[in-house]
Amino acid sequence: MLSPSRGAIAPVRITRIVAAPLFGESPKGGWSTEIKAEDSIHALIAVHTDAGVTGYGSCFTDGRLVEAAIKVLEPFWNGENALEPERVSEKMHQNTFWMGRGGSLTHAISGIDIALWDIFGKVTGLSIGRLIGGRHQDRVMPYCSLLMDEPERMGDEIAVYREQGFRAFKIGWGPFGRRNDTKLDEAIVRAAKDALPSGGRLMVDAGASDAYWPNGLKWALRAADMLADHDVEWFEEAVKPDALEDFITLRKNSRIPISGGEVLTRRQSFIPFITQGAFDIVQPDVTKVGGLSEQRRIAWLAQDFGVRYVGHGWNTALGIAADLQLATALPNVDLVEYIAGSAYVDNIMSVPFSLDADGMLAIPDAPGLGVDLDRERVARYTPNAGLLFEDD
């Protein structure tokens, strides 16, 4: 217990926020307009303070948009107390409604919010998980997120990561649902199932947020039946992301759980999907939705309505680190997403993530996010690496 003489922790003021767009090895997305290596789809954030403590976060959007958003948001974060992440993030949300809420500004706030929680943990000496809910568990299973491929190659691709210790897999996008060939779709799933380790888990992501997705509800209903026959654990993004009524109908009629929500931003957008029964599993992305402050509120709402929470983690090592902290702060979170073979996951930290003998990831309990970026490794993927570490 703090003695009266010690008093409260002094404010830690934000002096500067910088973004570092990541280039060079952007992973393929399976999108109709495929991501190129030189495209920026993810950016790292650093929040610098007058105490010399720096927090780090991640945003899922073009780094140039993040840099512009930081400038637009500056009147609302400059000089603020970094030890009040929820208040500061909400201030940024509330003062930018009229600028296009839910878009790149929200994505940028996501990275800033994660970085503020990182600072709060570093100053207090506590991991974020302990700050936002306590530690319900010390480890969690990552599911290896892979693009779908032709049936003759799908099994071999799973085998590579099975040998690395992964026991759960999600396959998505690629040719699935895009060639009007139900036999091909089933052959891909069968090949994946055959390649799983003993007791392995498989999820399927149609990727209906792709540009000009060609299929509708009736396709999704037929596909869900096929996936149920193969004991697939969930069917993700089976209809277009704004098709609320279709999601509701699909969930009511599907024999397997229906998941979605990765492209929704702001907690308010999730309310009708959760309260009206659109999802069995809700999948907000911490690097898009508004950061840990928003992600936690969405997860709590889902829990109150009996909807399972599994964060969407197709982003960076810092996004996974944030998901791990939330996975321990909430009860019954059994999976986190892990992109297979992404340099921005595997090659930007001082100590990369590693699986234990059971295919699980340990949840860090060091202060803040509990992970450290490696300056030299980050510098391979951004010209702005020096700005991230100036105060370190």
Mean pLDDT split into 10-residue runs, the chain, 392 residues:
62 97 89 86 97 97 95 97 98 92 93 98 98 97 96 96 97 94 97 97 97 96 98 98 97 98 95 98 97 97 97 96 98 96 95 96 98 96 91 58
List the beta strands (DSSP E) in the chain. Answer: 14-21, 43-49, 55-59, 139-147, 168-172, 201-205, 235-236, 258-260, 281-282, 308-309, 335-339, 361-362
Instruction: Based on the fold, state whether residues 154 and 119 are members of the same structural domain.
Output: no
* CA R_g for the chain: 20
Distance CA(168)–CA(350), nearest Å, equals: 26
Quick check: is 2 in a domain?
Answer: no
Instruction: Based on the fold, state whether residues 159 and 275 are members of the same structural domain.
Output: yes
Instruction: Based on the fold, state whether residues 97 and 231 are members of the same structural domain.
Output: no
Quick check: is 7 in a domain?
Answer: no
Q: Which domain holds residue 285?
A: 134-362
- From the list 105, 42, 45, the residue with the least C-alpha distance to 73 is 105
Q: What's the pLDDT score for residue 392?
A: 55
| Helices 267-275 + 244-253 axis angle, to 10 | 40
| Helices 104-124 + 317-329 axis angle, to 10 | 60
Instruction: Based on the fold, state whether residues 165 and 268 are members of the same structural domain.
Output: yes
- Model pTM score: 0.96
Instruction: Based on the fold, state whether residues 354 and 273 are members of the same structural domain.
Output: yes
Quick check: is 367 in a domain?
Answer: no
Quick check: is 368 in a domain?
Answer: no
Instruction: Based on the fold, state whether residues 204 and 119 are members of the same structural domain.
Output: no
Instruction: Based on the fold, state whether residues 329 and 274 are members of the same structural domain.
Output: yes
Overall number of domains in the chain: 2
Quick check: is 119 in a domain?
Answer: yes
Instruction: Based on the fold, state whether residues 251 and 172 are members of the same structural domain.
Output: yes
Quick check: is 370 in a domain?
Answer: no
Instruction: Based on the fold, state whether residues 187 and 320 are members of the same structural domain.
Output: yes
Instruction: Based on the fold, state whether residues 67 and 167 are members of the same structural domain.
Output: no
CA torsion 336-131-330-206 (nearest 10°) is: -30
Could you report the per-residue pLDDT of 39-58, keeping only the tens digit for each?
A: 899 999 999 999 999 999 99
